[in-house]
Amino acid sequence: MSEETESEPGLLEGLMTHRAMRRYTDEPVSEEDIWTCLRAAVQAPSGGNIQPYQFLIVQDPDTRLALAEIYRRGWARYGAAIAPTEFPDDATKSSWERNNRATVHLAENLEHIPVLVLVLMPSIDMTVEDDEGPMPVGPTHASVYPAVQNFMLAARSLGLGTTMTTLHRIYEDEVRQLCDIPARYEVLALLPLGYPTGNWGVAPRPRPAERITSWDRFGQKKTP
């Protein structure tokens, strides 16, 4: 654990200042800290307390490199497909370019991050039925992502950075083959884990809470 984590942020401060980190030092992450994040993850709520997830911790340098090469292939396709050709104003363009530089840096340096965490979910259907028909109470993913968030927030409390990535899914079969993951599992997320070079802080959000919140009826607003 690094010295700057001696004073851990409070829960609300951690929530408000947690942000995607895509640049990391090569400082190793202790197994104790990895276990802390994992134990926090499994405390997240899940439907029926079924915990429909598994974690695969990748530290082996050769496997990290192979994952990074798969990820880069996905990014090359995806990045080209989503790159905007025009922007409404200079501020929007500058913001996109800044974020894109960080995303490119992550893709180019993924193998150098000390820990890569794969989040797995078995392909199961949680829909139940009665005489009236199926009751679509939500996808299984809804019982996985709270664990991902808990993992990331626990990392924040330890001074460790993360970001949730999914570009590996473009070549998900190759990821499964590389890591001996059974075919029945989806590889929902890849979380890099390491000491970030950036700073924690409140990230700008284009849609503040008051803009997207209604009270009692849709469209009824309140001013905080």
Q: Where are the domains of the chain?
A: 9-211
- Provide the percentage of residues in the chain whose pLDDT is more than 70: 97
Q: How high is the pLDDT of residue 5?
A: 45
Q: What is the DSSP string of the chain?
A: --GGGSSPPPHHHHHHH------B------HHHHHHHHHHHTTS--GGG----EEEEE--HHHHHHHHHHHHHHHHHHHHHH--S--SSHHHHHHHHHHHHHHHHHHHHGGGSSEEEEEEEE-----EEETTEEE----GGGGTHHHHHHHHHHHHHTT-B---B-GGGGGHHHHHHHTT--TTEEEEEEEEEB-BSS---PPP-SS-GGGS--BSBTT-----
For domain 9-211, say whether CATH 3.40.109.10 is its number: yes
- Provide the percentage of residues in the chain whose pLDDT is more than 90: 75
- Mean pLDDT for all residues in the chain: 92
User: What tens digit of pLDDT does each residue of 115-166 get?
Assistant: 999 999 998 888 889 999 998 888 899 999 999 999 999 999 999 999 999 9
pLDDT reading at 4 higher than 60: no
State the pTM of this model. 0.90
